[in-house]
Amino acid sequence: MEKTRCLSMLPPVLGWSVVVALSCCVYVVEDDDAVARSLTVLLQLCGYEPIRFESADRLLEKADELAPGCLLIDYSLPGTNGLAALEMLHDCGLRWPAILMTGYDLCAVEIDAKRAGFRCVLEKPFDTERLAAELGAIAPAVPGSRSACGGRAGEVRSILAATARRTLRASPAFSR
């Protein structure tokens, strides 16, 4: 089965629709709908392609179909918790970089999270700039990621727009 590819659809540039891989996928495993929606918007603004799972069990069911990516996993989930999920992914040979989110006391979770292989633990509510920095640090470790643009989605969009304008000006159909 072909693995899911992470592509972002950019807004039309002078009427052209452009699909480009801006960065890597970020698999958001969060059961709180409001938190998940907020994270999705933030990640899209940072140039990532967020894909949400409401439970770790659902992520584990689909793991072999997914393209490599980063994991942003809540600690407390229905069914399998975030720590156990990462350990199960590792047992299957998937060693994607991961960040754990928690509403619990950071000290109580951090040692176990580091032992399980999480890069860091973010205590909710967390600073969005810290999340962006942590993802920017781990995204290059994802095999096949387009981390050359990292969080520079705006710059990529500007380059695409400028290229489209130059192309249209050079075209005989659009010259004055």
Residue-wise pLDDT tens digits, 51-80: 999 999 999 999 989 989 999 999 999 999
Confidence of residue 173 (pLDDT cuts 50, 70, 90): very low
Q: Where are the alpha helices (DSSP H) in 12-152?
A: 33-45, 56-62, 82-91, 106-116, 128-138
The predicted structure's pLDDT at residue 142: 82
159/114: higher pLDDT: 114
Q: What is the pTM of this model?
A: 0.71
Residue 99, pLDDT > 90, answer yes
The predicted structure's pLDDT at residue 152: 47
The predicted structure's pLDDT at residue 154: 47
Beta bridge partners of 27: 51, 71
Residue 20, pLDDT > 50, answer no
Residue 3, pLDDT > 50, answer no
Give the domain 21-151 fold: Rossmann fold (3.40.50)
The predicted structure's pLDDT at residue 140: 82
CA atoms of 101 and 1, how far apart (whole Å): 31
Rounded to the nearest angstrom, the gap between the alpha carbon of residue 44 and the centroid of all alpha carbons in its chain is: 8
Confidence of residue 145 (pLDDT cuts 50, 70, 90): low
Give the mean model confidence (pLDDT) for residues 28-42.
Answer: 93
Torsion, CA 50, CA 73, CA 89, CA 98, rounded to 10: 80
The predicted structure's pLDDT at residue 144: 64
Residue whose entry in the numeric block shows the structure tokens 């990292």? 150
The predicted structure's pLDDT at residue 167: 44
